[in-house]
Every structure is written in structure tokens, then in C-alpha cells.
Amino acid sequence: MGIVVTGATGKLGRHVVEQLLEKVPAEQITAVVRDKARAADLAERGVQLAVADYNAPETFAGVFAAGDKVLLISGNEFDKGRPAQHKGVIDAAKAAGVALLAYTSAPGSLTAALADDHRATEEILLGSGVPYTLLRNGWYFENYTEHLAPVLEHGAVVQAAGEGRVSAASRADYAAAAAAVLTGEGHENKTYELGGDTAFSFAEYAAELSRQTGREIAYHPVSVEAFTGILTGAGLPEPLAAVFAGVDASIEKGELVVSTGDLSRLAGRPTTSLEQAVADALKG
């Protein structure tokens, strides 16, 4: 039995592989990548590499073996028809007779357009008959903390989320949950709603940035339309800007507050706090 991680050189995938290496021998792990060169460091540590591309489903033939546990990390090419991309992986996993396919989805409470591809993929996966785990990942701290430069430059957190709160957690937190499912037992046909232990508002985020930087950073809530314009002005394609602005609208409605405790239970520790996430980002 092996453990196979797709999208293994992506930001979440690398965290998952690192945490798997703490739990199982490297030769039991297969990292699925599009470019072997980007995973040379993993190969040097004994991780098996397989080259496959979500846009070419035939490349997944032979990647999986009977009894494997697979993590399907959702693709990030929003314009390429992600459910069809994911179906190619699911079909290959079914043909191989894998023991489990875990999929990184979105919270069940999320109604924003971002969730549409995830719901469609879940439907494909449940219809396939493959034993599954739905890892419904909430929002990532890094969605904010990796983009601090304009916030610090202008002294302002600008979002379209009103007074809404979000149960964010770090990529490492979500990776810990995935690693626990891939190395543990009893997760077949389970759905986990994953989010940080403590939800925060953007006013609280701005206040924490102010406290740690010693500078005055304010929260400026704007309309969804205005936020979409800000994002396109920063270089995001309009469809993608609309997706992210739509997530803010969902945050305002409380759709990204996840209070199940599933994430810290699976990870076996508390999730990363807002204070720690900000401190890590400022250390850079």
C-alpha cells in the first residue's frame, strides 16, 4: 500500500508530503507532479515521483495501484473546467482499485461561486463508488498573510466582508488533517468540515497587524463591486477577481465560520492562531 499525493509541488501539497515524511517511510509516498525538476528535493529524500497532468487524464493511467490511499488536491486553474480535470483522476483511481481517495473540497456552508467546482467534484466522487474522504477545507490564513505588502504600504486592510468572521487556518494545519486521514484508519466515506479553532473579523485582523507592527492599520470595508475593481486593478483577471470578491460576500454572511472542531481533532493539536499567523508572516 502506498500514499499518492497529487499536486505535490503546490503550496498545500508540499506541506502534506513533509508531514507524511514524519509518519511513514519515504518510499511509501508517491508525489504526482507535472515537472520532475520541481520535485528533485523530494526524490533525493526517497519520495517516489510520478508525472501526470490534470489536463491530460491519460497520464494518470498507471499512477495508482490497488490499495493505495490518494489525496486529490483540487486544481487551481479556474478556467480549465476543474470538475472534468478531477474526474480524470477519480476515474484512474477507480480503475486501479484504490482503498481511499481524499479530496480537498470547500466548506458545505459556502455558497459562493468558488464552491461550485467543489460540489460538482464531490458529486463525481460519490457517484464513482470509490471509498472517499471529503476534506472540506476552510479559508487559508495565507490568502491574506502572503499579500501583506500593499496592506503595510497603505496602512489598510481592504475587504468586502463587512463585519463577517472567518475560521481561517494555516496550510500546515490543513495538511496535518490530510496526513492524518492518509495514514490513519476509519476515514472511509466521511466528510470533515475543516476550519480554524477561533474565527476572526477583519477589524481584528487589522488590529493584530497594528499591534505587531506598531503602526496604525485600519480595516476599510468596501462593496463587492469595489473590491472586484481593486483586485482587477492589481492584475487579477476579472473572472477570478469576481470569485474572490464573492467569497468575501459569503464571509459577511457567516458562511466561512466553521465550528466543528474537526481540523484540530484530526491534526491532534490546536490550529494556528491569528497572532501566530501574523507573526509568521511578518518574520517573512
Cell of 30: 508517491
Kindly give the parts of the chain with pLDDT less than 70.
Answer: 78-80
Alpha helices by DSSP H, 101-201: 114-128, 142-145, 148-154, 171-183
Q: Exposed, middle or buried, 52 (CB in 10 Å: 0-12/13-18/19+)?
A: buried
Residue 61's SS3 state is coil
Distance CA 241, CA 246 (A): 8
Distance CA 153, CA 117 (A): 35
Tell which residue, 74, 59, 55, 58, has the closest CA to residue 7. 74
Q: What is the pLDDT of residue 81?
A: 84
Across the strands, what pairs with 105?
Answer: 136
